[in-house]
Structure 1
């Protein structure tokens, strides 16, 4: 029989996700728990396994499409003998034919909805009566006498779109994902002739309408230049949308203060070179960020209030450190964190930083790694930047920016010399961290980078 796999809630409480990449095609054989698709939520990219075994009948969502949780994304033909499984035409009919209203006295039975293997089972609160073949929606009420005559179209309420402020009018046949796509692209569904079953509008119809509009739109460009359009519109969604919301909430809720400190890190750079030659660090990347992270962990242990959070009613001081490392990826800025970083040895911290960077670049950070951070480091030096004023990660009260390391003139023992110098910038929430505490933390991090032996003395 034909079984549909609906997009599950992967445990983050999110309502939608974007289809990033399909790993199967129609006609492919699939087994239970085989990875079939990658989706991107507002937290991370997640691989979904198949809960069925059989043959892929159809992919019901295209790559790049944003799908609501609970919407079917793939149909699999299984080899069971059970009756009552929906066929392809019945599945389409379920989307286009309305559900009759349940009778008040009709007995109701709790429905257990199967969800993704490994993510538990949810109890559905939706109760529906079986649909009868050939059921139709009653015709809409006659229009008022003053209004012009409108052809009566039998359209289920689930696919009717209000005329005002939407991507279509009453009488337009389109599934919810198609309507959402039209809204995102600014397309009026009423201007499109559908090519789907019963004249319904498909995703391809919407994309074709966008392509036709772009071709017809005049473009201002120098003659003979062959220049493309001068503007590009990119929908804000996924990780970038979540990051934008978090940064706005942080910037306008926590009173930020940023302090700067230039530091001679010549001895730190020499220590990095020595560590790279040690057997314990042979299989991991050793960079100045490793010693910056170790210095911050040491300073936080000495000043726990910098590793806290503000709830409005109380300050929560955390005696553990989940060290966040800001990472720029193709999908936007993410801040995965190393759990219990304060318990790691220097080789263990180096290994954790290396593995975290690899997962972030590949887009494979798990949702759990993106929550629960207590303090963050952002390495702006990799972009050739000296300093900045970083915005606090929501729920934290301090973030350290680490700038590029440059050769600069520096006074050493009364003599001018060329040294390796960087700039540190510490932003903190002034409701929790006052200027004295922030200055102590920043100065101690700088002192340990000037002389790495202090990390041993203060640890």
Structure 2
């Protein structure tokens, strides 16, 4: 029988330097045999829900984190028993080399599997961690020998003459639990150090806290509901939802954008009746059979054409190098409202796509966002964006720039309105365009010319012949 060894899989950086992710669910259990690249977990980053594939083929020996846990990049989340085909020695036993921690030495996951965003940064990488986590001994089952804490402070063990008990350091260490459980304990006025943990490795679970406090289980696990405080009944007066995931990332990005880039916004109202007539004709053509066509489709194509004449709006301000980076390609972002919050996935190299393919990509992008299947790669690298506020019946607004981009176009609702047409007043289809741009990169003239070009194309699609 071939020798086996234990390998730990550390949470990888799933895109653009994200420092943590939440374990939503495990697709495997301890003892399961898994194959290379089999999906083993579903995790939520600040940008997307990601299916995490297995970097090894072997047997699941331990799940270090429970669903609901927020885990820092580089921290072990699962251990595998794998065949030692390469003849490497088994993991070092307790007390062996490894900073004297008494833990199994974890090998950095290899890069054989080509995983999306794979490559967790571990010890010696120089990545700053958000905070160092240390855990005190807990009441309950002893922690498995492969459970590893944050790299900043090795976990104290019972053996080893150089170890100092926590009491002698003067530092109170935190019991093992997840953020929602710590929040629940705080709300109930409990000291977690007094709560026995029954979860894997002595983890203190929500049920442990509820049983210790004598409270019934809460109906909504991720929200804390406040009861009426005036004694007039049991009606709920407010609901508190943790700020995390997409909402947390969006808030940080919008604050950064609003207070970093000097925004300027311009508006243009356009008669788009000819564009809607064109869409109606295209829908009956064989080339566009089965392809969804909307005003957003035409607006996206108009933006791509207008950028060819106004490249300043497809650029980025590089503060570190004090340079303006002008992109010679267009990754077109489309703001999408999803159940998880606002997301801006982008179509890579949209400038090179023929119109039918662009329409298909827009539909696929929207479907993926609504289904929660948008990947971190889809959300990174955008160069300019469109937000379709018209679908909510809104005429105009002041869009906030997606960080790192020079401009964003807001597409309002198409309305039937009295409008001047050929010297008379007629009912026409009218829309308002809102353009926000970074005034460090785009002068007023450049922004105005770009918006005028987009408006001219939508007002009279035949104008494209004079622009390309």
TM-score tier by shorter-chain length is 0.7 to 0.9
Aligned to 1:263: 270
Residue 252 of structure 1: how far off its partner (Å):
0.8
| 2:109 corresponds to 1:114 | yes
Higher Rg: 1
Equivalent positions of 1:174-253 (< 5 A) are 174-175=175-176, 178=177, 180-182=179-181, 187=186, 189-190=191-192, 192-196=194-198, 200=202, 202-204=204-206, 208=210, 212=215, 219-220=228-229, 223=232, 227=235, 229-253=236-260
| 1:409 equivalent among 418, 437, 447 | 418
Task: With the length of structure 2 as denominator, give the TM-score of the two structures.
Answer: 0.77
Any stretches of 5+ residues in structure 2 without a counterpart? 125-150, 219-224
Q: Give the whole-Å Cα distance in 2 for the aligned partners of 1:86 and 1:189.
A: 36
| 2:446 corresponds to 1:443 | no
Q: Give the whole-Å Cα distance in 2 for the aligned partners of 1:191 and 1:230.
A: 31
Residue 258 of structure 1: how far off its partner (Å):
1.0
Q: Which moved more, 1:376-385 or 1:211-220?
A: 211-220
Aligned to 2:221: none
Q: Which moved more, 1:210-219 or 1:426-435?
A: 210-219
Q: 1:10 to 1:309 in 2, by over 3 A?
A: closer
Any stretches of 5+ residues in structure 1 without a counterpart? 103-109, 143-156, 163-169
Q: 1:189 to 1:50 in 2, by over 3 A?
A: farther
Please give the per-residue CA displacement for 1:124-151, whole angstroms capped at 9, x wherever unaligned: 4379999998558544667xxxxxxxxx
Could you tell me whether the CA contact under 8 Å between 1:293 and 1:377 is conserved in 2? yes
Could you tell me whether the CA contact under 8 Å between 2:413 and 2:431 is conserved in 1? yes
3-state SS of paired residue (2:78): strand
Q: Give the whole-Å Cα distance in 2 for the aligned partners of 1:114 and 1:316.
A: 35
| 2:15 corresponds to 1:8 | no
Q: Which moved more, 1:333-342 or 1:398-407?
A: 333-342
Aligned to 1:453: 462
| 2:28 corresponds to 1:24 | yes
Aligned to 2:344: 335
Could you tell me whether the CA contact under 8 Å between 2:74 and 2:120 is conserved in 1? no
Could you tell me whether the CA contact under 8 Å between 1:34 and 1:50 is conserved in 2? yes
Equivalent positions of 1:378-389 (< 5 A) are 378-389=387-398
Residue 305 of structure 1: how far off its partner (Å):
1.3
CA RMSD across the alignment: 3.8
Q: 1:47 to 1:139 in 2, by over 3 A?
A: closer
3-state SS of paired residue (1:212): coil
Q: Give the whole-Å Cα distance in 2 for the aligned partners of 1:339 and 1:430.
A: 25
Q: 1:211 to 1:306 in 2, by over 3 A?
A: farther
| 1:42 equivalent among 39, 46, 56 | 46
Equivalent positions of 1:290-439 (< 5 A) are 290-312=297-319, 313-439=322-448
Q: 1:201 to 1:369 in 2, by over 3 A?
A: closer
Could you tell me whether the CA contact under 8 Å between 1:265 and 1:420 is conserved in 2? yes
